[in-house]
Amino acid sequence: MTHPGNERPETVLSVRDLCVETVSRSDPRPILKSVSFDVYAAETLCIVGESGSGKSVTAFSVMGLLPPDALRRSGGRILLNGRDLSTARPGEILALRATTMSMVFQEPMTALNPVRRIGEQLDEVIRIHRSLPAAQRREMVMKMLTEVDLPDPPRIYRSYPHELSGGQRQRIVIAMALILEPKLLIADEPTTALDVTTQKQILHLMKELQRVHGTSVIFITHDFGVVAEIADRILVMRHGVTIENGTRDQILAAPADPYTRELVASVPGIHPPAPLPPKHDRVLSLRNVSKTYGTRPLFGRPRLVHALSDVNLDVHRDEIVGIVGESGSGKSTLARCVIGLVEGWTGEIRLGDHLLEDASRNRSYDIKQRLQIVFQDPYRSLNPRRRIGASLMEGLTNFGMAESQARRKVAEVLEIVGLDSSVMQRYPHQFSGGQRQRLCLARAIVMEPEILIADEAVSALDVTVQGQVLDLLADIKRRTGVAILFITHDLRVAAQISDTIIVMQHGRIVEKGTPQQVIRSPREDYTRELIQSAPGAHWDFRNFRPFVAEPGAEPAVS
Amino acid sequence: MLSIILKRLAATIPVLLVVAIVIFSILRLTPGDPAAIVAGDGATVEQIEQIRRHMGLDQPIPVQFYRWITAVLQGDFGTSLISGLPVSDMVLDRMGPTIAITLYTILYTVLISVPVGILSAWRRGKPVDKAVTAASVLGFSVPVFITAYLLIFLFSMVLGWLPVQGYRPLSDGLWDHLRHLILPIASLGTIYIALVTRFVRSSIIDTLGEDYIRTARAKGLNERGVLLHHALTNAAVPILTVIGITITMLIGGVVVTESVFNIPGLGRLVVEAILAKDFTIIQALIVLFSVVDIFVNLAIDILYRIVDPRIDS
Amino acid sequence: MASQSKLHLFLSSWSTRLALAMIVIVVLMAFLAPWLASQDPMFLDPSVRLKKPSAAHILGTDAYGRDLYSRIIYGSRVSLMVGTGVLAISVFFGVILGALAGYFRALDSVIMRIMDGIMAIPAVLLAIALVSVSGASLTTVIVAIAVPEIPRVTRLVRSIMLSVRSEPYVEAAVTLGTSPLKILLRHMLPNTVAPLIVQGTYIFAAAVLIEAILSFLGAGIPPEVPSWGNIIADGRSYFQLLPGLVLYPGIVLSLTILTINMLGDAARDALDPKLAARN
């Protein structure tokens, strides 16, 4: 929304040399080092960075919400509308919150007081800062509820937070933030915890509200796709330092700093690479697989949840099947049924010729060895009290392989994942998230499985690390011919790595095909919706330019 | 709501059964023959046998249990083996002092520990908090009877302000009634105030770490508002829990307190009965205490559902 | 490594170091009793009964003419033995029952109903009842106090089992073919060590306390044995005459329980970072 030709718009926020350090008598660590940036009227500034970059800390500093026993501002100035917040009294800062600057946080599910009604919580914002009669306040709240596109405002007013979905709760939080029309809205990863279709709605809503009220927005995110959609200007941060600052086009098309280049290039675009050769023999087949969870209260009807309904699927050697879906789609349940961590499913799953038992504990060691899994959270996937070597050898020694032989095999596999065999002596806490995920991969492939399940295995990783692990997965597939079930909520990632894409919704397979088929010519409305919700689809990140459709391909993306 | 209550009531039945079985078995395992005790020294073998049959002790154990349970459900707790009086009468007789002590102590505890716990949490790390925390550890470490004797030493013997022991029912006059209860309640209360304060403090601190507190601060609400309107209502659930647990533990403390201050209540009755191996009283009282305990927890459970709208939706 | 820093954290506050020193003193008192006491604690001498503190009897004598100081010194033995015994029994059974309840869903409801039943009976009363059933002796007192403590440990272990069961590294072990027993021992139970250390100190303190209560009520250790509760029980009839008979052993008892509880708090702060942040 900045118009280069016009005169300079007013500066709403000006941060100069902001320094934040940890609270410690003996040894304070710097968290933010001389961070400086400006935010102009009615524009969206995206602050981007990986974990540990300090982007959230910056936001908390501006709002004065740094946790006093952990962090403190050690230098710099924060000018909001010309007023220096760093010298303001606590009472003044309280008065500015919600009236001049507001914040929206990442987790909508826990952001609202669970024991008070929604209307009351919205009403509270007004009561804190203005003395208006009750009827007028109620009117303001109702108007705001309508503005954030919530149906049936009177019902929402009376509801409790647990009666609303994540997307609805986030709308409430946005309503609370904007009801007194502040000049600045800080949004800290507000859509990261939401499904991609909901994300699209919220992003659209925020853009609309910004247009109507003229609010400046600082949008913090790690997802460059989102940045490409909504940013006017971009600030890149890393390890508490600002790396680069510029307009959207400047940063995306011509990033000056090598870190920025690396960051932008790692972003998965939704457009799949060139078509791949056809498939080999089948290793896994699912027929009519269903899983129902039920609660049976003493009185009343049993409540059933159909996590999976009638799933049919074939997986071949040397194939990566990307299983994509939002929350509740059943994708994780499917993976866990295959590996036997979910019991009581019906239907047939065949591994080669063998019909699989439903629970892992009922399966023979032979079978277990052929199916392996890597989980989402690298920080909880390794026993923190055991050395890496012991954890990685566990599967092999379970069936009596001699320790020396197991050790050799693990060393070989460590080389494949790019780690030195000396890591076997160390403990998990000594490694980063990306390294731990490699170790978990090593633990899985040392068993020489036919099927490897990656259950959101890269979702918790920084985008640069994510790219490395995806490359590693492709490499492993090439070397060993293992079939990979790649579960993800991010269609863009699936598009980059899969040979076949499966789209799931409400426990059913909705669409199936090659990435080219699914993304360029989707058959189902839901698939289309997913594709259109994928942020940044119009930008080709790897090549630092807007996406240019290949001649002959029908773009499914508007 | 009604169906929930019924369900919880139904769930208490197996627990009650276990309690009844445990108590019944323990007592039946006691060496020593209740019939012989009742008959007294110098009784002949036939007299003892007669008493045994009269008491129903010659029946197989499951039958004895069945008879006892059905009698209890009809309100008949049997007769004391030692005094020969109906147990229900003895219980009613000695109920007054115990109820008085228990209720006053609960009131005293809640009135002090909740505000102090909140204050301590609010001023975390400051001198007030450190003092409260230190006092709490001291409070629940000193046994009830030691606190009691220390207080008696100071207030009765040295200062002479309060009586050393004894009990006066309400009918004897309010002031006299209370005067005799001040020291027992102060001794008993110390421990529970210490425990509940500690717990209130940590509940509030935990609640203050939740995300919606951050949202409230982001709205521009001051610390007082955050504490009163957001933290307190959410901490109510765990605080109710601990009050429920305290009531259970209170029974053990009442026993000792009644002993030190020579108060003729149920606690002392139980101890006397156990030492005299008077089965009927022991069974009746322990079951009674356990039932009270279970129903207190049921009441707390129902209170939760009123306070927290998330449960049962 | 990590455990060194925890020990360091544990010892960092002066109050913890003081508490540790006091416990060491009590332990020494117990072990060196024969040398620290001025005379045989059971030695009766009616000619010197109920004397105030003097050179011959530092804290005076009780109603039977026994030296109060010596009896208090020997009393530490009883308390420490009871504490240790109760701790051992309750942790042993509590861990087994908690692990079974947490790992095998079928056993869970049965075990927990029984634990609920035991917890519904006030601990002191249950202990008294158990002692009167089996006769008063050190062993029976230890067992009687341990039984009501077992459910606490069971609940703790069970809840840890339930939460750890869904950790990815435990699920990974299942898919790698690790046997249930190995999973329990290698991956799940180690998570109980730190909480058990903390809970264990509180159980130890509670055991010392309950033994004193039992003895005080006349339902515990046989009266001739010098336990702090017994000494107080003996002295209570003469309280107004010689308050020291009750107050001296009472203060020693309270200090012992206090120091153990302080150590428990310090252990909790050192071992659980989340709890430590509260304090």
Instruction: For residue B138, give Cα distances in angstroms to B147, C112, C207, C256, C262.
Output: 11, 33, 17, 11, 9
Q: List the structure tokens of B131.
A: 């003092």
Please give the DSSP secondary-structure letter assigned to residue A423: G
| pLDDT at C156 exceeding the cut of 70 | yes
pLDDT digits (tens, 9 = 90+) for B187-229: 999 999 999 999 999 899 989 989 999 999 999 999 999 998 8
According to the model, what pLDDT value does residue A298 have? Answer: 62
Of the listed ranges A175-184, B41-50, B103-112, the one predicted with least confidence: B41-50
Chain A residues with CB-CB distance to C164 below 8 A: none
CB contact under 8 A, C187 and A399: no
| pLDDT at B308 exceeding the cut of 90 | no
Q: List the structure tokens of A108.
A: 């909508």
Q: Quick one: which of A534, A9, A52 has its CA closest to A233?
A: A9
Please give the DSSP secondary-structure letter assigned to residue B56: T
According to the model, what pLDDT value does residue A278 have? Answer: 65
Of B211, B214, B219, the CB nearest to A125: B219
CB atoms within 10 A of CB A328: 15
According to the model, what pLDDT value does residue B35 have? Answer: 67
Q: Please give the residue of chain A at the shortest CA–CA distance from B308.
A: A115
Check CB contact of A298 with chain B, cutoff 8 Å: yes
Interface of A with B in 183-222 (CB under 8 A): none
Decide: helix, strand or coil at residue A95.
Answer: helix
CB contact under 8 A, A398 and C168: no
**DSSP E strands, A296-381:** 303-316, 320-325, 346-351, 354-355, 371-374
Alpha-carbon gap: C150 to the closest alpha carbon of chain A (Å): 27
CB contact under 8 A, B15 and C120: yes
Please give the DSSP secondary-structure letter assigned to residue C189: G
Q: Please give the residue of chain A at the shortest CA–CA distance from B235.
A: A115
**pLDDT confidence bin for B76, thresholds 50/70/90:** confident
DSSP H/E element including A504: strand A500-505
| pLDDT at B143 exceeding the cut of 60 | yes
| pLDDT at C1 exceeding the cut of 50 | no
| pLDDT at C118 exceeding the cut of 90 | no
According to the model, what pLDDT value does residue B59 have? Answer: 73
Q: How far apart are CA B120 and CA B200, in angstroms?
A: 9
Instruction: For residue A356, give Cα distances in angstroms to A287, B74, C52.
Output: 12, 58, 84
**pLDDT confidence bin for C221, thresholds 50/70/90:** confident
Q: Quick one: which of A197, A199, A220, A201 has its CA closest to A44?
A: A220
Q: Quick one: which of A209, A217, A207 has its CA closest to A59?
A: A217
According to the model, what pLDDT value does residue A147 have? Answer: 93
According to the model, what pLDDT value does residue B288 have? Answer: 82
At residue B117, φ and ψ (nearest 5 deg) are -60, -40
Decide: helix, strand or coil at residue A301.
Answer: coil
Contact B219, A176 (CB under 8 A): yes
> Which of C111, C124, C230 to mutate: most B Cβ within 10 Å?
C124
pLDDT digits (tens, 9 = 90+) for A482-503: 999 999 999 999 998 999 999 9
Q: Please give the residue of chain B at the shortest CA–CA distance from A129.
A: B220
| pLDDT at B57 exceeding the cut of 80 | no
| pLDDT at C53 exceeding the cut of 70 | yes
Q: How far apart are CA A501 and CA A515, in angstroms?
A: 6
DSSP H/E element including C102: helix C68-103
Check CB contact of C171 with chain A, cutoff 8 Å: yes
**What single letter denotes the amino acid at residue A107?**
E
Q: Please give the residue of chain C at the shortest CA–CA distance from B121.
A: C278
Q: How far apart are CA C239 and CA B92, in angstroms?
A: 32
According to the model, what pLDDT value does residue C142 have? Answer: 93
Chain B residues with CB-CB distance to C119 below 8 A: 248
Report the neighbours of B using a cutoff of 3 or more CB pairs below 8 angstroms.
Answer: A, C
Check CB contact of A344 with chain C, cutoff 8 Å: no
Q: How far apart are CA B18 and CA B16, in angstroms?
A: 5
Instruction: For residue B203, give Cα distances in angstroms to A163, B118, B121, B241.
Output: 25, 9, 9, 11
Q: List the structure tokens of A471.
A: 């490359």
Q: Looking only at Cα atoms, what is the longest distance across chain A?
A: 79
Interface of A with B in 377-416 (CB under 8 A): none
Of B18, B30, B259, the CB nearest to C113: B18
**pLDDT confidence bin for C217, thresholds 50/70/90:** confident
According to the model, what pLDDT value does residue A258 have? Answer: 93
Q: Which residues on adjacent β-strands are paired with residue A374?
A: A454
Of A341, A386, A395, the CB nearest to C171: A341
Which residue ranges of chain A lie beneath pLDDT 70?
A: 1-8, 275-279, 296-300, 549-558
Contact A116, A200 (CB under 8 A): no
